[in-house]
């Protein structure tokens, strides 16, 4: 498990509303209702998806309180899929159809008979196929309302968000830079109307890649007290997101091509970051539009107690998230002021007017 050992990848969310007062009393039933169940071959199922207890992954009757570690709920999602070769399926199907025709002395079989043979063969081949299994950690901080999903796949994250809502009747919002920038604008008193996710993206999505590009070109000034270094690999895109430049290697930020791309109007959509706060150092890859983090090395020593180690690593991730948000929001405030002073269309006109 990445939150327990090794490098960590995650996408951060926050709950839209506090859970109902009775949720803890009903959570065991809810988790079991939406829990993982093995694929039923007899029904022709190809996939199964649901909650598991990460500490007891074979337990099909998880208990809510046993998933708790202090203020953290440590959940898991398991997805099993089965797929077999369509090439061999068709070959076996035609062979079976020919055998039936020969046994019954038929020149052809009816459509219903063929469908029955297809169903029987599908079930047989599903039984012969071992599932492909993937698991994803979900850490829910009950104190702060932050939820960390241990992957950066859009499809998987969206399914887990839907599962979370169905199970706990609590919605989740991603902590994308566009959302963070909008919240900062509202907190500053900028006169902005409520926005849909699509409108948020249109107004604010550029600030994440702009932030990474700023870090590449100017670094972070000493007054913030948090040294930040950009490392490779780097992914640049133009304003229309049609042309992509990829620079490989840990030292890619020092390449002349990196400076030329940034100063030429391209924005940095993915980069490696090195961040130091006091004696702690984090290294990871970050996506500019989502702030998805992959391959993070966590500055936490190994401890003998498994649960204690998990809590320490999650706290290190949360601390890094706080640093990133602080740096990003400071940048957004300053960037909006710069845009307005340059006479560019900006979201902060109410603040400077």
Residue 42's H or E segment, with its range, is none
In the chain, the largest separation of any two C-alpha atoms, in whole Å, equals 89
Q: Is the pLDDT of residue 121 over 90?
A: yes
247-279 pLDDT tens trace: 998 889 889 999 899 888 899 999 999 988 878
Instruction: Band the pLDDT of 243: cuts 50, 70, 90.
Output: confident
8-18 pLDDT tens trace: 999 999 999 99
Sign of the CA dihedral 108, 112, 118, 123?
Answer: negative
Instruction: Band the pLDDT of 105: cuts 50, 70, 90.
Output: confident
In 3-state terms the chain splits into helix, strand, coil percentages (rounded to 5) of: 45, 25, 30
Answer for the pair 149, 162: CB distance below 8 angstroms, yes or no.
no
The pTM score is 0.85
């Amino acid at each position: 498990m990445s939150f327990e050992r090794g490098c960590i990848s995650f996408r951060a969310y926050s709950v839209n509303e506090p859970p109902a007062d009775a949720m803890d009393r009903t959570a065991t039933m809810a988790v079991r209702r939406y829990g993982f169940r093995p694929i039923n071959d007899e029904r022709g199922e190809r996939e199964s998806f649901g909650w598991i207890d990460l500490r007891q992954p074979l337990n099909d009757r998880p208990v809510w309180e046993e998933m708790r570690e202090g203020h953290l709920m440590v959940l898991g999602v398991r997805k099993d899929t089965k797929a077999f070769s369509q090439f061999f399926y068709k070959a076996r199907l035609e062979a079976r159809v020919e055998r039936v025709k020969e046994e019954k002395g038929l020149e052809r079989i009816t459509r219903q008979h063929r469908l029955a043979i297809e169903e029987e063969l599908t079930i047989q081949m599903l039984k012969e196929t071992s599932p492909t299994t993937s698991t994803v950690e979900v850490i829910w901080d009950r104190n702060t309302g932050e939820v960390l999903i241990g992957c950066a796949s859009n499809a998987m994250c969206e399914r887990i968000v839907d599962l979370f809502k169905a199970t706990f009747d609590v919605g989740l919002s991603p902590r994308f830079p566009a959302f963070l920038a909008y919240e900062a604008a509202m907190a500053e008193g900028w006169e902005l109307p409520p926005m849909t996710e699509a409108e948020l993206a249109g107004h604010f999505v550029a600030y994440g890649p702009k932030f990474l590009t700023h870090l590449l070109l100017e670094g972070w000034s000493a007054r913030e007290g948090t040294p930040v270094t950009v490392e490779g690999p780097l992914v640049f895109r133009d304003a229309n997101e049609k042309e992509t430049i990829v620079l490989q290697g840990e030292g890619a930020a020092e390449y002349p091509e990196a400076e030329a791309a940034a100063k030429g109007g391209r924005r940095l959509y993915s980069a490696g970051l090195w961040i130091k706060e006091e004696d702690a150092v984090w290294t990871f890859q970050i996506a500019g539009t989502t702030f998805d983090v992959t391959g993070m090395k966590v500055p936490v020593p190994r401890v003998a107690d498994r649960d204690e180690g998990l809590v320490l690593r999650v706290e290190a991730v949360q601390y890094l998230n706080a640093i990133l948000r602080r740096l990003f929001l400071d940048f957004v405030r300053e960037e909006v002021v710069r845009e307005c002073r340059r006479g560019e269309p900006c979201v902060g006109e109410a603040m400077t007017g």
